[in-house]
Amino acid sequence: MLAIIMMFVLGVCGIISIGCYIMVIIKMFQNDEATLGIICLVTLFCAIGGLITFVMGWVKADKLQTHQIMGIWSGAIVIGMIASFLAQ
């Protein structure tokens, strides 16, 4: 039963992560970081776009005003890791 609940939590964390990814990309385009936004979108298909977006979201948090989004995204990742560990 615990595994089923943890899988649900993982799904919710995944949805939150996707939403945060999209919001950070939108913030990049809104704040004259179109090149970075395009790089993050293109490299998503190479499996590193999410990581680049996450790192650059924190690095440029002041310029992009993404402190709250990045906090939520980081929390979703940590909770997802914990849920993944507990689901086994």
Place 9 in a pLDDT band, splitting at 50, 70 and 90: very high
pLDDT digits (tens, 9 = 90+) for 46-87: 989 999 999 999 999 999 999 999 999 999 999 999 999 998
DSSP 8-state assignment for residue 17:
H
pLDDT tens digits, one per residue of 16-51: 999 999 999 999 999 999 999 999 999 999 989 999
Structure tokens at 74: 């980081």
Contacts of 61 (CB under 8 A, 6+ apart): 67, 70
88: pLDDT confidence band, cut at 50, 70 and 90?
A: confident
Q: What is the pTM of this model?
A: 0.93
